[in-house]
Amino acid sequence: MGRKSKLRKSVVGKSCIFCGGSVAATTLEHAPPKVMFEDKIRPIGHEFPACARCNNGMSSLDQIAAMFAHISGDLSKGRDGRFTERLLRGVANNNPDVFNYIDILNPSKPLKIDFDGREQEGYRVSVNRGLFRKWLNPWAAKQACGLWYFETGKAVSETDRVIVTWLTNDQLIFEGAPDSILTNLPNARGMHMGRRDFHRQFSYLFGLSNDHDFGAFFSVYQDSVGVLSVVVPDHMVSRYGSIISFGELYRVSARDGLQRCLSGPIAEFFPL
Ligand SMILES: [Zn+2]
């Protein structure tokens, strides 16, 4: 069977999991995308049925999120940065506007940073939060739809809300992941290819409510940046508003796909 017919077979009768679960899927979407993995070597798994609309139009975001994670990851892994350079060039070609949000030309003085007992020199670069609002948060919300489906077998529904916030490598290095995340998310998952373990490129912790109507995920990309995402029914958002007092709120619909909520108790971005 050819690749295309195999693909058709794998999504036949399934619905897109990124726009509410009622639109017929015609493609498979990789979440996280191939480009998030070094040299685009991605293990099999975490591929999800998607409609053409939800599958297309996100590749720019994929590239931007990958660049963001890889810039940070090079520092912690002491890599040569060739793959990151390709990503930087790609983003500069496709979305040059992104660099108005990252003050890459004005880094801080060099800082000594301790990575697992290995001292490295790094620079602090300031990032405008518009980078998250415009590109990284919608990308993270889409990833959350994939994680939710993978762990519950359900698509995020039109009455669910997805809340996302990023933890930069600066936050993770100097403050660490908040204890509330580490203690409340009892399960861990990564990806493998044969014996090769990809958890230093992508892994996540998660917790689900007993009824599987509420879930939280903490994903780490390239061992350096994190995303905290929560899937919650809309009626619980305000009830848990004081607990989930972070992040930006998204919803999905068959009509509009994945959309930022323009109003609501926590529709605005609150840094941790
Ligand atoms: Zn869709």
- Let me know: does 225 contact 84? Beta carbons within 8 Å: no
Tokens of 2: 């050819």
| Distant-in-sequence contacts of 83-88, Cβ < 8 A, 24+ apart | 83/38, 83/39, 87/35, 87/63
141 CA to centre of ligand 1 in angstroms: 13
Bridge partners of 197, per DSSP, are 192
State the pLDDT at residue 3. 65
Bridge partners of 190, per DSSP, are 203
20 CA to centre of ligand 1 in angstroms: 7
Residues 24 and 254: their CA atoms lie apart, in Å, by: 10
State the pLDDT at residue 2. 67
180 CA to centre of ligand 1 in angstroms: 33
| DSSP classification of residue 245 | -
State the pLDDT at residue 166. 93
pLDDT digits (tens, 9 = 90+) for 181-230: 888 899 999 998 888 889 989 999 999 999 999 999 999 999 889 999 99
| Section 94-101 average pLDDT | 95
Q: Of residues 41 and 58, which shows the higher confidence score? A: 41
CA-based torsion, 145, 61, 222, 38: positive or negative: positive
Residues 244 and 124: their CA atoms lie apart, in Å, by: 28
Residues 219 and 198: their CA atoms lie apart, in Å, by: 13
210 CA to centre of ligand 1 in angstroms: 27
State the pLDDT at residue 268. 45
219 CA to centre of ligand 1 in angstroms: 22
pTM of structure: 0.91
Residues 135 and 208: their CA atoms lie apart, in Å, by: 27
State the pLDDT at residue 257. 95
51 CA to centre of ligand 1 in angstroms: 4
Neighbours of ion ligand 1 (CB under 5 A): 16, 18-19, 23, 51, 54
Bridge partners of 114, per DSSP, are 119
| Section 146-172 average pLDDT | 94
150 CA to centre of ligand 1 in angstroms: 16
- Let me know: does 51 contact 96? Beta carbons within 8 Å: no
250 CA to centre of ligand 1 in angstroms: 15
Neighbours of 68 (CB within 10 A): 27
187 CA to centre of ligand 1 in angstroms: 28
14 CA to centre of ligand 1 in angstroms: 11
State the pLDDT at residue 131. 94
Tokens of 105: 């030309």
Coil/strand/helix, residue 1:
coil
State the pLDDT at residue 137. 95
Neighbours of 88 (CB within 10 A): 18
272 CA to centre of ligand 1 in angstroms: 31
Terminal Cα distance for the chain, rounded: 49
41 CA to centre of ligand 1 in angstroms: 26
| Section 144-166 average pLDDT | 96
Class of residue 187 by CB neighbours under 10 A (exposed 0-12, middle 13-18, buried 19+): exposed
237 CA to centre of ligand 1 in angstroms: 23
State the pLDDT at residue 99. 93
Look at residue 242 and tell me whether its pLDDT is greater than 80.
Answer: no
